[in-house]
């Protein structure tokens, strides 16, 4: 009979204990769940179209009819922020997914094989890291043009080195472990060891880093949108709404206020969730 003191905890009590230790995780997950619902079904929260122009009601302050006010063409800011949630989060999630996949695989290969592969990939990553993130984003989107696809590419290039270094460090630590030496002693091909064993153990590090980096990529995406290098109007996007409101910041501050708060709240929830998950994984 198994010892009840050493048996693994059931899933529900284990999560309950984790949430008690990390109250920030519960709050972050609650906010992210709400944001996910907004992104999936924005029509549940706003019945107005983010594209409808009503010049007669331009630059109206927040009222019962327009909770976040209107912009210089009379479009409802609340509707634009709500519908912009899907676009903003999709861009950030897609860019970070590309960075995690490419950087994670490249870092694992670099740390596992070492030698000239590690040297070449490491120098390439160092070149990317020599540029400040926002400057690199401006260069890439400025050269390629302010389009959504180019913005996703720029963000993935910016954050690729982060996942490369995390995955490389994880692979280097795994290579010296006994199970890798045993697999090599059994004559398993190096690519099989890399794919079935090392990459699998590096993956949790990459996933945690994905959540930790999400608020940072959200801020860079909003900054590039504010500079006019992100999603172009009239498509609703938090950064694009910020850029639109900068010319009327004194006359109609609500245009920039509410998308800015959306970025801040989302980044804060992601930060709480990511740090809490990181501490939980480190304890285990």
3-state SS string for 50-84: CCCCCHHHCCCCCCCCCCCCECCCCCEHHHHHHHH
Look at residue 18 in the predicted model and tell me its pLDDT: 65
Look at residue 179 in the predicted model and tell me its pLDDT: 81
What pTM value is reported for the model?
A: 0.85
Q: Does domain 86-283 have CATH number 2.60.40.10?
A: no
Domains of the chain by residue range: 86-283
Whether the pLDDT of residue 140 is over 90: the answer is yes
Residue of 281, 181, 239 whose CA lies nearest to 231 = 239
Residue of 209, 130, 221 whose CA lies nearest to 162 = 209
Residue of 18, 31, 23 whose CA lies nearest to 268 = 31
Residue of 234, 257, 248, 228 whose CA lies nearest to 52 = 234
Burial 218-254 (b: 16+ CB within 10 A, else e): bbbbbbbbbbebbbbbeebbbbbbbbbbeebeeebeb
Whether the pLDDT of residue 23 is over 90: the answer is no
The model's pLDDT over 92-112, given as tens digits with 9 standing for 90+, comes to 999 999 999 999 999 999 998
**Confidence bin at 194 (pLDDT 50/70/90):** confident
Within 10 angstroms of residue 204's Cβ, the number of other Cβ atoms is: 12
Distance CA 152, CA 89 (A): 11
**Contact between residue 131 and residue 160 where contact means Cβ atoms under 8 Å apart:** no
**Confidence bin at 6 (pLDDT 50/70/90):** very low
**Confidence bin at 13 (pLDDT 50/70/90):** low
Distance CA 224, CA 95 (A): 14
């Amino acid at each position: 009979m198994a010892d009840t003191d050493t048996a693994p905890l059931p899933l529900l009590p284990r999560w309950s204990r984790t949430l008690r230790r990390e109250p920030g995780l519960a709050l972050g997950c609650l906010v992210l769940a709400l944001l996910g619902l907004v992104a999936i079904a924005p029509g549940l929260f706003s019945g107005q179209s983010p594209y409808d122009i009503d010049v007669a009601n331009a630059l109206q302050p927040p009222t019962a009819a327009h909770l976040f006010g209107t912009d210089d063409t009379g479009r409802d800011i609340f509707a634009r922020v709500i519908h912009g949630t899907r676009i903003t989060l999709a861009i950030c999630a897609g860019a970070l997914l590309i960075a995690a996949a490419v950087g994670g695989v490249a870092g694992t290969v670099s740390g596992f094989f070492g030698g000239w592969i590690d040297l070449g990939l490491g120098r390439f990553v160092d070149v990317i890291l020599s540029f400040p993130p926002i400057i690199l984003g401006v260069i890439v989107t400025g050269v390629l043009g302010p389009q959504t696809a180019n913005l996703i590419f720029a963000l993935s290039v910016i954050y690729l080195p982060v996942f490369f270094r995390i995955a490389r460090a994880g692979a280097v630590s795994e290579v010296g472990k006994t199970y890798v030496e045993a697999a090599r002693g059994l004559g398993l091909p190096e690519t099989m060891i890399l794919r079935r064993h090392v990459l699998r153990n590096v993956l949790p590090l990459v996933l945690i880093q994905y959540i930790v980096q999400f608020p940072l990529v959200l801020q860079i995406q909003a900054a590039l949108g504010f500079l006019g290098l992100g999603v172009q109007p009239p498509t609703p996007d938090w950064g694009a709404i910020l850029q639109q409101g900068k010319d009327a910041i004194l006359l109609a501050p609500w245009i920039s206020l509410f998308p800015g708060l959306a970025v801040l709240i989302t980044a804060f929830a992601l930060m709480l969730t990511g740090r809490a998950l990181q501490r939980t994984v480190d304890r285990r």
